Amino acid sequence: MNKVLVTGGSGFLGSHLCDRLLADGHDVLCVDNFFTGSKRNVAHLLSHPYFELMRHDVTFPLYVEVERIFNLACPASPVHYQHDPVQTTKTSVHGAINMLGLAKRVKARILQASTSEVYGDPEVHPQREEYWGRVNPIGFRSCYDEGKRCAETLFFDYHRQHDLDIKVVRIFNTYGPRMHPNDGRVVSNFIVQALKGEDITIYGDGSQTRSFCYVDDLIEAFVRMMESPRGFTGPVNIGNPGEFTMLQLAEKVLSLVGGRSKLVFRPLPADDPRQRQPDIALAQEKLGWQPRVGLEDGLKETIAYFRQLLEA
The average pLDDT across 175-183 equals 91
Annotation marks residue 214 as catalytic:
no
- Select the more confidently predicted residue: 183 or 308: 308
Q: For residue range 10-57, list pLDDT tens digits in order.
A: 999 999 999 999 999 999 999 999 999 999 999 999 999 999 999 999
What is the residue-wise DSSP string for 68-93?
A: EEEE--S--SHHHHTTSHHHHHHHHH
> Which tens digits make up the pLDDT trace of 265-278?
988 777 677 888 89
Residue 271: what pLDDT? 64
DSSP 5-66: EEETTTSHHHHHHHHHHHHTT-EEEEEE--SS--GGGGGGGTT-TTEEEEE--TTS------
Asked if residue 253 has pLDDT above 80, the reply is yes
Domains in the chain, start-ordered, CATH in brackets?
Answer: 3-174+213-240+277-292 (3.40.50.720)
The amino acid occupying position 120 is: G
Element (H, E) at 124: none
- Give the number of residues written for the chain: 312
**Mean pLDDT over each residue of the chain, to the nearest integer:** 94
In this prediction, residues 202-214 reach a mean pLDDT of 91
Phi then psi for 278, rounded to 5 degrees? -85, 145
d(CA 109, CA 155): 11
For the beta carbon of residue 277, count every other beta carbon within 10 angstroms: 22
The reported pLDDT for the residue numbered 229 is 97
Question: How far is 262 from 254, CA to CA, in rounded Å?
Answer: 9
Q: Which of 25-29, 79-83, 253-257, 274-278 has the lowest mean pLDDT?
A: 79-83
Residue 82 has pLDDT above 70, yes or no: yes
Cα angle 258, 193, 176 (rounded to 5 degrees) comes to 85
Please tell me the predicted confidence (pLDDT) of residue 110: 98
Picking from 180-189, 190-199, 213-222, 290-299, which range would have the lowest pLDDT averaged per residue?
Answer: 180-189
pLDDT digits (tens, 9 = 90+) for 111-121: 999 999 999 98
- Mean pLDDT to the nearest integer, 89-101: 97
Mean pLDDT (whole number) for 128-140: 93
Q: What is the mean pLDDT of residues 180-206?
A: 91
31 phi, psi to nearest 5 deg? -115, 130
Please identify which of the residues 81, 119, 144, 158 carries the catalytic annotation: 144
pLDDT at 78 over 80: no
